[in-house]
Structure 1
Amino acid sequence: MDVYRASKSRSQNRKGWYVTFRHPLRKDATGKVGLKVRRGLGTADDQEADLLVKQMNELLLDDTLWSIHAKSRARSLYDERVIAAFYEDLEPMQMTDLKAVRERELPYPRREEDYNQIRFTGGHERYEGLRQLLGLADEPFLQSNAIHAPHYELEWIACDSPTYEAVVTFLPFEKTKAYMEECVIKAAISYACDGGDHELARHFLQHEHEPFALRQLIGTTPAFYVTRFTATQPNVSVNEQVQEYIEIIRSQALQVRERLMETHDFTEKQFTYPTDDVLLAFEETWRGEIEFTLLIDALMEEVEKRFHSLPQGRWTYTSEEWPECWRFQAKDPNVTLRILSILTSQDESKCGKLLTPLVEGIRVRGSFSGRKGIFTVGPEKTDRVLSTNTMKGIDQSHTLVWVQETKRDSYDHMLPTLRYLISTGQIEKLHLCMHGDESEEWQRHAGQALEILLNDVKRELGWTAYSQAERQILRNSLYFSVEEVYERTIHTIEEYELLSVHPIYTNMMLSLIVKDACDAFYQKLETQDGLREKALCRRFAELGEDEYGGMKPQALMFTTLTETFYRSFFTQPSGWSHEDLTNDKREKAIAAICMHFSKALRTYLQANVCHQQIAEWQGAYGRNGKNANKKRAQDLNGIFEEVLPSSHRLIDQPKCVKHLYGLMKEAIESSGGILLS
């Protein structure tokens, strides 16, 4: 039996001690038992820390206590801090809701105080709307372009306050470590597969699929800026420490490559054109090297030093002794804005001294421009399927302002958001603000582009969707100034009322509708390379997330179901309780049903795709060795089939139809509709 030992260490910017040890029951990414964990001891006293480490070592030597069922017995023997450090890792990890942390530190005004929550969306122009309302056009941390769009959630509480307060939440320890490991792995793979120094530097210093720029935290190298289009290196000084990291990756990449060619009979050609078998074998071997662990530990320690750059404020920490949030206040707004600029800088000349990649969210409260409200901007992407976080941000807002350049040739990037608002009954939140040239020519151009967009809506969701969107955009909510939007919506916080209009439905077509949704989901579900599928499994299994690298299975499932039910069922009632109803009343009644259904469906999918199948996600992530990629793909298919089976298996899993029928029935009846069985 392996001997597991614990040791104590001190955080870079803390007096308190934390314990590190390899867990005898938890597996790392290579499938080997002995995952390295880190937990705070809650003390700055050396002797007390030594006593706790001694207790942990005793626990690690007693394998009769290595079970969640032995937790109560261990409690009678050891300090509660030791119990928490060891047994917490035997239960499914629940990532901290960092928005809830910001709410705890700096809460939103109460609803009865009549604060409208306005969310700005769109491309990088969405920050223009926030700047205009707050009168902060020159603030660098609110500047955005297509290349350097902020990756964090920004929340601004504009109120009558004598002080200016801010709370900043940071990426969790495990998520930061995951990003770093993926950068190191991809850098080594790219070099081993003949990518050269510039590919190694590019993947090491900038995450391939996430907005995590490691170069901003540890420094950069000229090779990062070299591309296949230009071989000239810019005037960037060589960072010796970064160069040392790169040398380690380079030498280890070649050693792992040679070993795989010997043990797996891989050829030079297979590394030049790598398959999933090559990529996954390389990752598994590289992760198992002690040099990999030492490199990640060194990088995490170096990154942790960046928190020293913040001025005095109030810190809170996680159980790993990792900064969770930082709060400060000032009487001078310029001081607040200057500190926020330090936190969110994208200045390439300051690489190695920035904290930007670790910022997860910012909430500010203060008096700006004499306006009152809650204004938010999120890290949204213009993908065909919105992320779950983007959907939640829209749901929580009272008003959604899409800021759009008038001179754009196409507005089709608006389509996913528009489809979401319609299919979830929230289209009345939308206000469109055109930014840029306001001449008659460009206003006419905007109208034509919007008409093309509305025709796309009609093609995908039907005539009712077209009617709803057309009325909301072209008649009610097309503006050329965010001030107009603000004045129009500042006093329009409304709850949906139960209408005295009753759509009547029959459930005869439900099985066919569910079959259509199943077919659509599996047609849209794209197969990805083995590394990305494994990284997706890690998000579900360990990081409390549901997407990676463009893969959004839970969001795709939600979108497919809501749009299918909207198009094929909710907008097709068998009749109405009154015949002389206006289209407006009919559409509002349908919107109320869609809103109830979408809320219930989100809860259902969160429970059934994530929480209830956490063991399946962990098993899929832990796949290694021969045929691991094929088995992982089967695992993923099994997870999805459990919730939304493929159409040919629906007859064998009637519980899917039963669950969806229950959600649909509750949504219709709670909104005043009638469902005939």
Structure 2
Amino acid sequence: MSTYQASKTRTQRAGWSVIFRHPAVVNPDTGKPGKRMRYGLGTRDDDEAEILVVALNAMLADERWWSASARAEASGRFPDRVVDIFFGPMTAEARDTRARREELLPLPSANEGYRTVLLLGTTGAGKTTVLRQLIGTDPETERFPTTATGRTTIADTEVIIGEGDYSAAVTFFSLDEVTAHLQDCVLQAALASHRGEDRSEIRRTLLQHRDERFRFNYVLGNGAPADNDASESVSGLLANTSFASRGAAADKGMPELGELSLDETNQLIDEVVDRVIAISDTAVARIEADLGSVLTDEDQLVRSELVEEGLDEYLRDDDDVHRLTDALVDEMRRRFDLIGNIGELRRNRQSWPTSWVWSTGDRAEFIRQLRRFTSNSKIGFGRLLTPLVDGVRVRGPFRPAWHEGDTPRLVIIDTEGLGHTVDSASSISTKFTRLIAEADAVTLVDSSKHPIQAAPTALLRSLARTGHGAKLHICFTHFDAVTGDNLPTPADRALHVVKACDGVLARIGQDLGVFAERPLRARVRDASFFLADCHRKLNADDDELTVAEFRRLLESLQRSGDRPTLAETRPVYDRTNLVVAIRDAVEGFHRHWRAILGLTTSNEVDKAHWASIKALSRRFAVMNQDEYRNLQPVADLQAWLQDQVWLMIQSPVTWTAGDPSVDEKQAMYDELANRLSERVLALAHERIFAQRSREWNHA
């Protein structure tokens, strides 16, 4: 039987903490009991900390306490802090941050006259820029929400347009999620060292997650450049370009973030880089020794992959790696101290922040304080909290200067981009599927320069097969970039953009039937909006056409959400057809994923790299997520099932009270698809995720 032992540790600036392996909590990296825990003891006194550690070791040594049911008895025998530390992890902590925001700042309902609008689009299409225009924030002075040329929006941004003060509810990623991604960064830095990358590239890899979702340099800074580094922002990737000698240090700005010296942080980052290099060398030497001469020189590719896989396994459970991660997490905690007494910062039992709420009547100050949670400005690097934020909900009297009439009653949700899927038949994230079902309007933001590429096509297919096609609005941004001698007028340019949809819609009709294509064509005709120069503040006189399009968009969004009355007649189906539809869907799903896993070959599906498959397994087992990049097994199963069910829905055997009109059929089919979609998604989640947790841990 394993012996469990707790030990105390402290950082340079905090009180004592305790580290131990928990005998009753599964370690997701091994699938066995013994997950590593680290909790603050709530004291700076050495003797008091020692008493608490002794008490915790007494509980670790006696199996009678290793059950949640023993908490009541333990409460009378051990210090409260020790009881909370030991029994707290046995009870899963609620992680639904959207529900937490709902408690702090509730969304208004349709009964109050509000409509919920979901903004979706590919990375860089201008989704957040459109949101800025709809809520009337100044792109020069306010810059809220944040925009950039690449992937910017990671946290969900929810804006409630309403009267009264400005209010905000911000929620944060859990400590486990942040720690897991930090460990990924340490691993990637070790791999960079193994590949022989220079020090600046190892440091960049350590601070910026490869998925571009967690840019920890926003929180910790870029580190102090060494004397031989050209620039803190110019890694070895640009060493031979003209940019290498043009690094410029960011001046200290954004006083609203507070003052913080980065000297200690930079020293820590250098120490972590040193340790990563040393750990990598040691681990690789051991792995190479274990491999020995089993592989010949002709097997170098296989050897390289085995070294990378072995390095991953070696580092995941290495105490030195955990200590490095702990030190970086402690640095991140310091950034929350910069908030001061503004608003209310709430923490969980691990003292990790879970939410922040604040209200004020001062719009300028409200926007300034939000920047620490939303900005990507380099002058704030080292003090920002942006990568740690998973959701921002705000409410206030936002409205654009060009809007006429009453304040629009809208809730606008902006989330991360759809990405750039290579297969137009790919599924969309389960997160988006759920948000679409809740929204009254879905606004696809797409570039006029290259409209309706793979990812938007996947979205249109999803809307069609789930019966949500009537929710579609399309904003074609960068309309000012559509030029040509054959396009002399705005009408010519608009027609040119819309024609790009024809082939996509025809293909959807071919694959999913006329009742999938029909509502989408109607929405492209009636709800397409052409937007130019959205990056700047619009003026009703100087930007007449774009302002007119935005006004038309607002009117359409406020009318959205109503569903047609269903006819009295009902479709009748043959159960056998449903069985066949499910069989075809499951077989298609298996073919698709066997090709992804490399078990078979397919001209339509690329084999995924082993590291991506391992990362997917880790998302399921450790992070409670059901996808990794474009690997989305739950979403894929839902899509395959929904496609086949949608085809079956359009082919009833008969109708109970005579054939309805085409419009009545459309309404009926959409309603059936709506209701089935939620059940199909729940089924896919249950079969692949919930019922397979042990297998995902083992993988």
* TM-score normalised by structure 2 residue count: 0.80
Q: Which residue of 1 aligns with 2:586?
A: 518
Asked if 2 retains the 8 angstrom alpha-carbon contact of 1:102 and 1:168, the reply is yes
Q: Pick the aligned partner of 1:330 from 343, 348, 360.
A: 360
1:574-593 equivalences in 2 (<5 Å): 574-593=653-672
| AA in 2 matched with 1:548 | Y
Q: In the superposition, relative to structure 1, how do residues 248 and 477 fare at CA in structure 2: closer, same or farther (>3 Å)? A: same
Q: Which residue of 1 aligns with 2:543?
A: none
- Cα distance in structure 2, aligned partners of 1:125 and 1:339: 24
Q: In the superposition, relative to structure 1, how do residues 359 and 11 fare at CA in structure 2: closer, same or farther (>3 Å)? A: farther
- 2:210 pairs with 1:208: yes
Q: In the superposition, relative to structure 1, how do residues 87 and 610 fare at CA in structure 2: closer, same or farther (>3 Å)? A: farther
Q: Which residue of 2 aligns with 1:447?
A: 498
| AA in 1 matched with 2:316 | R
| AA in 1 matched with 2:147 | S
Q: In the superposition, relative to structure 1, how do residues 409 and 551 fare at CA in structure 2: closer, same or farther (>3 Å)? A: closer
| AA in 2 matched with 1:400 | V
- 2:234 pairs with 1:225: yes
| AA in 1 matched with 2:685 | Q
Q: Pick the aligned partner of 2:284 from 257, 266, 274.
A: 257
SS of residue matched to 1:142:
coil
Q: In the superposition, relative to structure 1, how do residues 261 and 32 fare at CA in structure 2: closer, same or farther (>3 Å)? A: farther
- 2:524 pairs with 1:473: yes
- Cα distance in structure 1, aligned partners of 2:527 and 2:491: 19
1:138-537 equivalences in 2 (<5 Å): 138=139, 139-161=142-164, 163-197=165-199, 199-220=201-222, 221=225, 222=231, 225-226=234-235, 228=237, 230-232=239-241, 233=244, 234-235=246-247, 239-265=266-292, 275-311=304-340, 312-369=342-399, 370-382=407-419, 383=421, 384-408=426-450, 410-435=452-477, 436-437=479-480, 439-475=490-526, 481-494=549-562, 497-525=565-593, 526-527=596-597, 528-537=608-617
- Cα distance in structure 2, aligned partners of 1:541 and 1:393: 24
Q: Which residue of 2 aligns with 1:96?
A: 95
- Cα distance in structure 2, aligned partners of 1:508 and 1:107: 45
- 2:631 pairs with 1:551: yes
- Cα distance in structure 1, aligned partners of 2:438 and 2:114: 13
Q: In the superposition, relative to structure 1, how do residues 135 and 4 fare at CA in structure 2: closer, same or farther (>3 Å)? A: same
SS of residue matched to 1:119:
strand
- Cα distance in structure 2, aligned partners of 1:203 and 1:99: 30
Q: In the superposition, relative to structure 1, how do residues 249 and 313 fare at CA in structure 2: closer, same or farther (>3 Å)? A: same
Asked if 1 retains the 8 angstrom alpha-carbon contact of 2:8 and 2:53, the reply is yes
- Cα distance in structure 2, aligned partners of 1:491 and 1:463: 26
Q: In the superposition, relative to structure 1, how do residues 265 and 106 fare at CA in structure 2: closer, same or farther (>3 Å)? A: same
In the TM superposition, residue 272 of structure 1 has moved relative to its aligned partner by 6.8
Asked if 1 retains the 8 angstrom alpha-carbon contact of 2:372 and 2:383, the reply is no
Asked if 2 retains the 8 angstrom alpha-carbon contact of 1:186 and 1:204, the reply is yes
Q: Which residue of 1 aligns with 2:620?
A: 540
- Cα distance in structure 1, aligned partners of 2:14 and 2:102: 25
Q: In the superposition, relative to structure 1, how do residues 112 and 13 fare at CA in structure 2: closer, same or farther (>3 Å)? A: farther
Q: Which residue of 2 aligns with 1:652?
A: none
Higher alpha-carbon deviation: 318-327 or 375-384: 375-384
In the TM superposition, residue 357 of structure 1 has moved relative to its aligned partner by 0.9
Q: Which residue of 1 aligns with 2:118?
A: 119
Q: In the superposition, relative to structure 1, how do residues 251 and 605 fare at CA in structure 2: closer, same or farther (>3 Å)? A: same
Q: Which residue of 2 aligns with 1:655?
A: none
1:247-294 residue CA offsets vs partner (Å, 9 max, x unmatched): 221122112111211122277966776554322211222334332122
- 2:653 pairs with 1:610: no
Q: Which residue of 1 aligns with 2:255?
A: none
| AA in 2 matched with 1:447 | V
Q: Which residue of 2 aligns with 1:640?
A: none
Asked if 2 retains the 8 angstrom alpha-carbon contact of 1:197 and 1:223, the reply is no
Asked if 1 retains the 8 angstrom alpha-carbon contact of 2:466 and 2:642, the reply is yes
1:365-422 residue CA offsets vs partner (Å, 9 max, x unmatched): 1111233221110113233321121222222211111223333255443111111111
Asked if 1 retains the 8 angstrom alpha-carbon contact of 2:56 and 2:82, the reply is yes
Q: In the superposition, relative to structure 1, how do residues 243 and 44 fare at CA in structure 2: closer, same or farther (>3 Å)? A: closer
Q: In the superposition, relative to structure 1, how do residues 129 and 260 fare at CA in structure 2: closer, same or farther (>3 Å)? A: same
SS of residue matched to 1:517:
helix
| Stretches of structure 1 lacking an aligned partner (at least 5 in a row) | 621-677
- Cα distance in structure 2, aligned partners of 1:108 and 1:409: 33
RMSD: 3.2
Q: In the superposition, relative to structure 1, how do residues 479 and 283 fare at CA in structure 2: closer, same or farther (>3 Å)? A: closer
Q: In the superposition, relative to structure 1, how do residues 95 and 183 fare at CA in structure 2: closer, same or farther (>3 Å)? A: farther
- Cα distance in structure 2, aligned partners of 1:524 and 1:570: 24
- Cα distance in structure 2, aligned partners of 1:7 and 1:165: 43
Q: In the superposition, relative to structure 1, how do residues 11 and 327 fare at CA in structure 2: closer, same or farther (>3 Å)? A: farther
In the TM superposition, residue 118 of structure 1 has moved relative to its aligned partner by 1.2
Q: In the superposition, relative to structure 1, how do residues 289 and 37 fare at CA in structure 2: closer, same or farther (>3 Å)? A: closer
- Cα distance in structure 2, aligned partners of 1:87 and 1:600: 35
Asked if 1 retains the 8 angstrom alpha-carbon contact of 2:156 and 2:392, the reply is yes
Q: Which residue of 2 aligns with 1:635?
A: none
- Cα distance in structure 1, aligned partners of 2:14 and 2:270: 28
Q: In the superposition, relative to structure 1, how do residues 150 and 280 fare at CA in structure 2: closer, same or farther (>3 Å)? A: same
1:182-223 residue CA offsets vs partner (Å, 9 max, x unmatched): 010111023213444455334322212251112222222547
1:122-157 residue CA offsets vs partner (Å, 9 max, x unmatched): 233112321122111413232424414211100011
1:204-246 residue CA offsets vs partner (Å, 9 max, x unmatched): 2221225111222222254763355653535266954433322
Higher alpha-carbon deviation: 445-454 or 262-271: 262-271
- Cα distance in structure 1, aligned partners of 2:11 and 2:95: 20
- Cα distance in structure 1, aligned partners of 2:94 and 2:611: 23
- Cα distance in structure 1, aligned partners of 2:344 and 2:630: 36
Higher alpha-carbon deviation: 139-148 or 270-279: 270-279
SS of residue matched to 2:178:
helix
Asked if 1 retains the 8 angstrom alpha-carbon contact of 2:117 and 2:443, the reply is yes
Q: Which residue of 2 aligns with 1:675?
A: none
- Cα distance in structure 2, aligned partners of 1:426 and 1:433: 17
SS of residue matched to 1:490:
helix
1:303-346 residue CA offsets vs partner (Å, 9 max, x unmatched): 22121232422011122210001111221111111122232222
Q: Which residue of 2 aligns with 1:136?
A: 137
Q: Count residues with an aligned counterpart.
A: 616
Asked if 2 retains the 8 angstrom alpha-carbon contact of 1:406 and 1:442, the reply is no
Among all aligned residue pairs of Structure 1 and Structure 2, give the percentage whose two residues are the same amino acid.
Answer: 26
| AA in 1 matched with 2:630 | G
- Cα distance in structure 1, aligned partners of 2:18 and 2:239: 48
| AA in 1 matched with 2:333 | E
SS of residue matched to 2:573:
strand
| AA in 1 matched with 2:355 | C
Higher alpha-carbon deviation: 341-350 or 205-214: 341-350
- Cα distance in structure 2, aligned partners of 1:414 and 1:328: 36
- Cα distance in structure 2, aligned partners of 1:52 and 1:200: 39
Higher alpha-carbon deviation: 292-301 or 505-514: 505-514
In the TM superposition, residue 361 of structure 1 has moved relative to its aligned partner by 0.8
Q: Flag the structure with higher helix content.
A: 1
Asked if 2 retains the 8 angstrom alpha-carbon contact of 1:479 and 1:485, the reply is no
